[in-house]
Amino acid sequence: MSVAAVLTAAGSGSRLGHALPKAVVPVAGAPLVVHAARALLAARGADASRVVHLVVTAPAQHRADVLRALEAVEAGDARVEVVTGGRTRQESVAAGLAVIGDDVDVVLVHDAARAFATPDLVARVIDAVRAGHDAVVPGLAVVDTVKRVGEPRGEEGWPVVETVPRAQLRAVQTPQGFRRDVLVRAHAAGAARAGDEATAASDDAGLVEDAGVAVWVVAGEEAAAKITTPRDVAVAELLHGPRSG
């Protein structure tokens, strides 16, 4: 039983607003994609299973930058490969999945933007798939009260439709883990539906749910928070940079 991972790094990072694509922006001493790759490759499942094939999606114009960044990653005997991503995250994951062999039975999908997810979290997801779940996502309890709103009224604001019971909510992270065949089928079905950023799936578990497959949540972690804005980078420097701890 072997594990492969698709590491999505093909986004532009428009909300970060850096000259470089987000995945190659250095934070806490290394590009985000390097931190994420190291955690994936360091993880060991309870049965010692580990990632043997890491596929990184890169922006078409920045493949060379991603390749160069990954030279700093100690891969051991794992195979590390860079493929060109697509217009949406969903298309990028599909491009990564396409080069994973059918000898692999578990596929992880992880965002370079969640660069500080720990090997422990990666292992927890692998173990839950091994334990028999077809699809596994890490989730954190939601701390804010969440309200569903209706259509905006001009510039004024939005009417509240309802307050969503918070105890039932989980904010979902990556890495997400899947039986390979389940994820491949869900992506094939999703590709037929999806178009642009607005209609593409924002996570892989969503595609699997649409295919009628049960998805399981394991405990997430704050370290796996997504780096989206300059503020997130500043926080990550404080938590993980040279003056942290």
In the complex, which residues of this chain contact ligand CTP (CB under 6 A)? Answer: 8-15, 22-23, 57, 85-89, 92, 111-113, 226, 228
User: Helix (H, G, I), strand (E, B), or coil: what is residue 135?
Assistant: strand
- β-pair partners for 8: 57, 111
When the beta carbons of 45 and 206 are compared against ligand CTP, the nearer one is 206
Run of H or E including 101: none
How many of the other CB atoms lie within 10 Å of CB of 243? 6
Chain position whose Cβ is nearest to ligand CTP = 11
CB 25, CB 36: distance < 8 Å: no
When the beta carbons of 2 and 239 are compared against ligand CTP, the nearer one is 239
User: Helix (H, G, I), strand (E, B), or coil: what is residue 37?
Assistant: helix
When the beta carbons of 48 and 60 are compared against ligand CTP, the nearer one is 60
When the beta carbons of 23 and 27 are compared against Mg ion, the nearer one is 23
Shortest approach of ligand CTP to residue 201 CB, angstroms?
Answer: 12
CB 109, CB 5: distance < 8 Å: yes
The pair phi, psi for residue 208, each rounded to 5°, is -65, -40
Q: State the Cα–Cα distance between residues 86 and 210, nearest whole angstrom.
A: 21
Shortest approach of ligand CTP to residue 229 CB, angstroms?
Answer: 8
Q: Which of Mg ion, ligand CTP, none does 94 bind, CB closer than 5 to 8 A by kind? A: none
**Closest CA relative to residue 50, chosen from 109, 4, 96, 110:** 4
Shortest approach of ligand CTP to residue 196 CB, angstroms?
Answer: 11
Shortest approach of ligand CTP to residue 42 CB, angstroms?
Answer: 19
Q: State the Cα–Cα distance between residues 156 and 158, nearest whole angstrom.
A: 7
When the beta carbons of 49 and 92 are compared against ligand CTP, the nearer one is 92
**What string marks each residue from 8 to 47 as x (binds Mg ion by CB under 5 A) or -?**
---x------------------------------------
Residues that bind Mg ion (CB under 5 A): 11
